[in-house]
Amino acid sequence: MRMHTLKREQRVARPLDEVFAYFARPENLERVTPPWMRMQFLTPSPIPMHAGSAIDYVVRVHGVPMRWTTLITEYDPPHRFVDVQLRGPYSLWHHTHTFEKAGDDTIVRDAVRYAMPFGPLGEVVHALLVKRDIEAIFAYRVQAINGAFELVTHLR
């Protein structure tokens, strides 16, 4: 199984506790997921956030609905949490979210390790589609996070 890695980092002009609180509400995942994925939660709200929480939802990938279940395996507010895929399109999906105080701002880091199913065929699909799709999702996410916190800043 070939492992792939995606790392992203962004600075958010808000305090650490406020930024972590935003991410600690799983419902906000819908706000940072691209609209073309038409994310829909199956887990009823409010969704508790702690180690052991499972979050079940459906996303559309190129129009095809895919059910995805993640498990929060680590939860260390306000510094870090980790989710892993229990059910979904990957052989492995391990997403570490870290948050670091940087003066009055917060550094948000995402580190994703993932592997494709179906051996060599999965690697071809990764090269042709999946890598580009994941990069587009995380590019959208950066903009959505910036937008969410700019709105908060402007309302104050």
CATH number for the domain running over 3-155 = 3.30.530.20
**Burial of 20 per CB tally in 10 Å (0-12, 13-18, 19+):** buried
Q: How far is CA 137 from the centre of its chain?
A: 9
Mean model confidence pLDDT for the chain: 94
What is the residue whose two structure tokens read 């870290």?
Answer: 98
How far apart, in whole angstroms, are the C-alpha atoms of residue 128 and residue 133?
9
DSSP 8-state symbol, 50: S
151 pLDDT band, cuts 50/70/90, is low
pTM of the model: 0.92
- pLDDT tens sequence across 43-92: 999 999 999 999 999 999 999 999 999 999 999 999 999 999 999 999 99
Q: Is the pLDDT of residue 155 over 90?
A: no
What does the domain layout of the chain look like in residue ranges?
3-155
Q: Assess contact for 145 and 32: CB atoms under 8 A.
A: yes
The pLDDT tens digits of the residues spanning 12-27 come to 999 999 999 999 999 9
